Amino acid sequence: MRLGVNVPNFGPATSVEVLERWAHVAEGLGFDMLMMSDHVLVTEDVARGYPGPFHDPFTTLAWLAGRTSRIRLGTTVLIMPYRQPALTAQMAASLHRLSRGRFVLGVGVGWARKEFEALGVPFTKRGALTDEHLDEMHQIWGGGVEGVAPALAPEELPGPPVWIGGNSDAGIRRAVVSGNGWHPLGFTMDWIEDAVGRLKAFADEAGRAVPTLAPRIKLRLTAEPVTDADRQAGIGTLEQVLDDLDRLRALGSEIVVLDPYHGDPAELEQPEEAWRTLAVVAAAWESKA
């Protein structure tokens, strides 16, 4: 099982130099994937945890593709209803090709109601819109939409792997129907063990293969064990975090993305703290391999 890292692509402290250093640190520590999140407008609900400026993930990942050589690149998650699906399909296929197959498109339905309102996208229809957009994107990647010539040549058209985010049953079903992987975000170990059973049941029901399990967990190391019953995976002592990773590997995870951002924008001014934590976990996990 491989490890990835979620990189903050927002906030005034996240400069060009800091973003480039994030990429070099992640690749240098041996992480398999670098991912970043997505917001188009920094509305009030977004700004509380994700202040602007917010760097567009497609643009930023394309730039970082030219400054890295091995690490895979992805979105965790691109908010599917915000963009016209043909545009998303074109950008994703282009980035996948230009990075020589290193891109993974993680998508989700979104959560920031005020941002939806500002963009003129109906918040209550975000699930249905996500399904419609995914279907159209797969049609485009599969050969185009009838009567419309794709911008890319046929040999350049196939899209990247698609990971579906979302912890609801609707999200799990969407991963079975429209994704190559399921990308749950933030959970307890008891919850994920039960949810993997539902994932397999939904796949059997639909007569489809079980998607790759590719979760994203929080990363916060503590000096003392966290004993709360609702402790989320990735929060606790190094031993607890390594045990969480072992259990996720036993569930069939092919990769686990670590998110060292705790939600306080002040953290972004000292990324070195996150880098040190990632280095500790990377070294400990490698020693178990």
Q: What are the Cα distances from residue 268, in Å, to 9, 33, 138? A: 10, 20, 36
Number of domains in the chain: 1
SS3 202: helix
DSSP string across 162-173? EEEE-SSHHHHH
Rounded Cα–Cα distance for residues 56 and 31 (Å):
22
Quote the percentage of the chain above a pLDDT of 70. Answer: 95
Rounded Cα–Cα distance for residues 121 and 238 (Å):
42
pTM for the full predicted model: 0.95
pLDDT tens-digit profile of 76-128?
Answer: 999 999 999 999 999 999 999 999 999 999 999 999 999 999 999 999 999 99
In this predicted structure, the answer to whether residue 74 has a pLDDT above a threshold of 90 is yes
pLDDT tens-digit profile of 165-174?
Answer: 999 999 999 9
Q: Which band of pLDDT confidence, cut at 50, 70 and 90, is reported for residue 158? A: confident
Domain range enclosing 72: 2-288
In this predicted structure, the answer to whether residue 150 has a pLDDT above a threshold of 70 is no
Q: What angle do CA 200, 228, 270 make, to 5 degrees?
A: 95
Contact by Cβ (8 Å): 4, 32: yes
Between residues 263 and 148, the one the model is more confident about = 263
pLDDT value of position 85: 96
Between residues 149 and 230, the one the model is more confident about = 230
Q: Which CATH number goes with the domain that contains 14?
A: 3.20.20.30
Q: Which band of pLDDT confidence, cut at 50, 70 and 90, is reported for residue 142? A: confident
In this predicted structure, the answer to whether residue 154 has a pLDDT above a threshold of 70 is no
In this predicted structure, the answer to whether residue 152 has a pLDDT above a threshold of 90 is no
